[in-house]
């Protein structure tokens, strides 16, 4: 263990797939001496039964008090009210990070809520699944994934170093990006694919499901994820999603015209370039 960990108290606000996995991994890796979790409703009882936390509470103020690091793993719609509720209870030296999929609005929320009250660094672990909730959380969810850090314009380097060390300890690779660049890139490789998977599933006749193989399952797996969560993400990042969608539609329209003409030339070009780029991507993976 490096000199950064274990910290004193780690607080995790939200115990869904991401928050629950953060909590499980932090406990397994002994990254903190005390683990406090904010959880609601029936899920709270499941979290308590898991026995991974020293404190599980529906009171976010009690959870963040005296915490050195706070991970906000909540839907964007819930972030504002919770951050405003806890800000007066934060130690000024505390570091707050989040896991939101769209960083520009998340960074605005962090700044508006925490300016002068605590330090903050945006982050987004590029890991998840089509199933949500604590029941699907697991301690190895982040191993091999990239976690993107989006520090504020005038970052506290000590705070950035702590957040980066935390994600590294959970098994991630890290990358620092401005929030706007994060949103542009993630729209192309995460948000647009989800929209396309959903459209593909809806466009297929039910009778075709009888002959669907692993290829169809692989391409459409993410379409089973939470509609509420993904609607929020797509609307929040709509300008970048629309840009990525228009680029995709240009290629699709070229392929359509080629097939209509009976030549297939544009289709073969698309398939060849896509195959080459996908193989090159595989070679770059760690």
**179-186 and 238-261 helices cross at what angle (nearest 10)?**
30
Rounded CA separation 60/203 (Å)? 43
Whole-angstrom distance, CA of residue 111 vs CA of residue 15: 23
- Provide the pLDDT confidence category of residue 264 given band limits of 50, 70 and 90: confident
Least confident residue range of 55-59, 75-79, 205-209: 205-209
**Model-level pTM?**
0.92
Q: Are strands 69-72 and 55-57 parallel, antiparallel or unpaired?
A: unpaired
Pairing of strands 119-125, 7-13: unpaired
| Percent of the chain with pLDDT strictly greater than 90 | 86
pLDDT tens by residue, 142-189: 999 999 999 999 999 999 999 999 999 999 999 999 999 999 999 999
Q: What is the pLDDT of residues 22-50, one digit of tens each?
A: 999 999 999 999 999 999 988 999 999 99
Distance, CA of 262 to CA of 253 (rounded, Å): 14
Q: Can you give the pLDDT at residue 1? A: 47
Cα gap 138→50, rounded to integer Å: 11
Give the C-alpha distances (Å, rounded to integers) separating 167 from 47, 147, 171: 22, 7, 7
Two tokens, residue 26: 């932090």
CB-based contacts of 232: which residues, under 8 Å, 6+ apart? 75, 76, 77
- Answer for the pair 83, 57: CB distance below 8 angstroms, yes or no: no
Calculate the alpha carbon distances from 232 to 64, 100, 182 in Å: 26, 11, 17
Which residue segments constitute the domains of the chain, with CATH numbers given?
Answer: 7-177 (3.40.50.720), 182-284 (1.10.3660.10)
Dihedral of alpha carbons 134, 57, 4, 120, sign: positive
Q: How many residues are listed for the chain in this entry?
A: 286
Q: Measured between alpha carbons, how far is 80 from 112 in angstroms, rounded to an integer?
A: 9
CA distance 248 to 173: 28
DSSP helix/strand/coil, 74? coil
């Amino acid at each position: 263990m490096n000199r950064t960990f274990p910290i004193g108290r780690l607080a995790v606000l939200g115990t869904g797939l991401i928050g629950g996995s953060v909590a499980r991994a932090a406990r397994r890796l002994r990254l903190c001496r005390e683990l406090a979790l904010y959880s609601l409703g029936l899920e709270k009882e499941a979290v308590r039964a898991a026995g991974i936390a020293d404190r599980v509470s529906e009171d976010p103020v009690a959870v963040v008090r005296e915490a050195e690091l706070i991970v906000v793993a909540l839907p964007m719609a819930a972030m504002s009210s919770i951050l405003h509720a806890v800000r007066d209870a934060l130690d000024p030296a505390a570091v707050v990070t989040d896991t939101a999929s769209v960083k520009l609005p998340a960074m605005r929320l962090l700044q508006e809520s925490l300016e002068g009250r605590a330090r903050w660094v945006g982050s987004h672990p590029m890991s998840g699944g089509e199933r949500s909730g604590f029941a699907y959380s697991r301690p190895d969810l982040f191993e091999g994934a990239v976690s993107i850090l989006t520090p504020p314009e005038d970052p506290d380097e000590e705070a950035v170093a702590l957040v980066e060390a935390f994600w590294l300890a959970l098994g991630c690779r890290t990358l620092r990006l401005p929030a706007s660049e994060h949103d542009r890139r993630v729209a192309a490789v995460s948000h647009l694919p989800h929209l396309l998977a959903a459209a593909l599933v809806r466009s297929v006749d039910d009778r075709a499901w009888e002959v669907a193989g692993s290829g169809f399952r692989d391409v459409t797996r993410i379409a089973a994820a939470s509609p509420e969560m993904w609607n929020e993400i797509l609307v929040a990042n709509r300008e970048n999603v629309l840009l990525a969608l228009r680029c995709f539609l240009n290629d699709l329209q070229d392929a359509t015209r080629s097939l209509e003409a009976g030549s297939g030339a544009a289709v073969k070009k698309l398939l060849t370039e896509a195959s080459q780029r996908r193989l090159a991507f595989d070679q770059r993976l760690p």
